[in-house]
Structure 1
Amino acid sequence: MSLNSFAAEPTIQQQRVSLILKAFNNRPENLIRPLVESDIHMGPAGGRVDVNDKAKFSYYIHIAEANDMKSAITLIPMATSRFTPTYYQTDAWWDAHKTELEDAKLKGLPAPKQDMDEVMQWLQEMKLSTNPDVIEINGANGQVRYSKLQTYLLDFYLSKLAKNDKIILFRGAEKPDEISSWQKGVTPRGARYWTPTANYAWRYARKNTKFLDELLANKTPLFKFEIPVTQFKLMVDRKWQQLTLGTELTKKVHDSFDRTGNFQDQLQNNDPYLGEGHFGVEFELRANRQGSADMANFYKGAITIEDLVNDRVSVIERTQERLIKQNSTAKEKYDLLFSQRVERVKQEGMILIALQENYTPETVQLLLSQLIQRSPELVNIDGTDFNSWVRKNIELKAKTGLKATSITEQIQDLKKRLYRKSIPILCEGLF
């Protein structure tokens, strides 16, 4: 008998690494060097391919069903919308111009930019563009399909995200008073990025320490835009793209993967990172100057508390479905985790609406006391202790006109607005 017959069969992970290597190296024109096994980092149900360390360019690995070797593998390029000479500057240029950049920022002046021809030459040498391949591998037979990122994502937006013949986008504002520009029909200076989920836009808006106060005042620093599908396609498809589609993961999420092999959310006690939901990676859009100016035509106002709740719940539920499909043996764990997260989101939403609409202090206090004790969701705002903020607002509301209905009626009203299914009233039997 041959000695080779005693060799261990390759694991599922090893077989997937082999398929991924072959898929990349079959297109050497897209690489600065052939990839090797150490470039591929696999976690339990996904991972990352480090394609170009010099440019910090990587791919997100999505495995549809982790324990099935025949499962589809989707490889999605990340953070590519930056790879354009009108926007990008190389690390070497940044290091050489730190003083000028910091000085311009302090003085509120336009930042200096690297010569576009120089950037273009570097991007070409590094084989970088805003439209690399998305790679789909059939685990059953090893067949590979290559699609351009802009085509793949546009199809995804139109098939998965379009509602009533419109694409809904969001923008989270870190800078104060961005809303006043939008209300005047003018795009604020420097506004370049949008996202199809309020959840991802919230991660930027939450850096505004007045987020919750502005939310109650209907001036949330998180804005909604509705683009007709036909117009959206034109903005993406034209030769000089007004909207460049892309994906992203934060540095902290990458760091968590490097430490643990899992993409984790530091804002949620290292729970699985939600991403867009269908995938554990965020979707984003970068506008050029004309595209950014045109976005003022599609502005629909600051989002409401109910908008924020519904969006977060949708992303959580899509993530729950994705993770259970990837690992059905963990269904019970994920059902518990995500049901708690959904409940916490809705509880926070009820408190926020109760404060906004002058419900009685007793109602707000009761809702606050019944919050699930886990990481905050919508109310996890930089520099804000939610409980203290609520109590401060209770004191303020006590001095104004209040809803004159009973606590039970007030909570029932809130539940009708935020719960899809009828759930027993929290305070029944307590009064």
Structure 2
Amino acid sequence: MSKRRRVTPTGGPVVRRAGAAAAVLVLCSAGVLLGMSAGSAEAAEVSYATHCVPPAGIDPVDGTTKVEITAPATAKVGDTVDVVWKFTQPAAKNPDIIDLPANSVQPSGTLKASGAQTADIAMQGPRENPAIPKGGAMVLSDMKGTLKLTTVGEVKLTPDAYTVNAMSTDTKCTPTETVQPSATIQVSAGGGTGTKSATPTRSSSPTVTSSASGGTGQTDFTGKEVQIPYACKTPLGDKSATSPVQINAKKNGGSFDLTVQFKKSVMDSPAPIPKGSVKPSMDVVLGGADKGTVHVEGPTNAADIKTGDPIAIPDLTGTYKPGAGGKSTLSPGVLTVKALGTTTTCTPTKTEVSLTLDTSPQPGGASGGTSTSGGTSSSGGASSSGGSGSGGLAETGASDHGALKALGLVSGTAILLGGAVFTFLPGRRTR
């Protein structure tokens, strides 16, 4: 059932003008790879049955995913190659419950390498999509990843499980049949050290693993995006919300400069907010070899926020000074938002590891004690780990029950940063 796609002399895909093609793009399927540049392998579209599990309260969906994967046709041992996953047909459409705003949907998944080399390649696409109406065709961005080639021979690339994140909710999609390879790389000897790109311009790609090895000379480490459910104590009572969070690190001597990113705006402002009045901070939880927490902070809002404008949590930064040697994990912890003299405290009901680092003990480091490094405190604490998170809503059909569940999930995203802002509207209901 697979069909081949023609490739232009420059390696770009020939666009098929089929009006019906857009209609088959749906929310639960996230399994198709995008074509690459000159020298790319001729990608074949693969189709496979898929079982998608949306957020709690919404029925699972069984559909068909269609994917194209593109990678360099040839490469050498030692090369790091870019691979692209393009969705030509996801497994379900946006349900008839809510409209999805532009840039609110993000796919991620796993690409399997087999043959001469076996590996799981982490794939992720940007949060880029047009506004998608209720019941409309789901549009998913192309996912990208990298693979370092280690063995001479034929390496086959096969799409596997993926997750779609929409409005801070996850839909996890898993193949229910054997999936055929979509692209093949012929790897020869040669000890290459460069990167073979599958596109004319290389965009930021997730690393194959979020584990940082201190002995490789690597200095920048990218964590994985994890979905963290928060229970928040706000000036107007208890609230709950789930937010995608990612922890990145940059080696600085024996320490690491941390950056914690919240991957989407959590609400629109219910009222005007003056500049310099909202300040977030977090205690990143250490685990594995090390113990404790690392305090990271973000700046206050630099400009006034108008009613209806999105409220975004800025990057939170701080310094992690290890107190133990080995593999240490970093997970999102307690988030605190101070606004206009009020405090909202959000505690994870569960946490997941975003980044793993190879660490060496430093004087005054964490390891369950209390220390200060670069204005950043470390103190005792505990950590728990979990799987990666990303996903979205699946089609369930319109029903009052399903609509209430979905609306509850969406409204929860308006709490995380906005809890402290609710004091602007006493006695009124916010959106």
Same fold (TM over 0.5): no
Higher fraction of helix: 1
Which of 1 and 2 has greater Rg?
1
TM-score, normalised with respect to structure 1:
0.26
More strand by share: 2
Indicate the structure whose relative CO is greater, using CA pairs within 8 Å and at least 6 residues apart: 2
Q: What TM-score, normalized by structure 2, do the two folds share?
A: 0.26
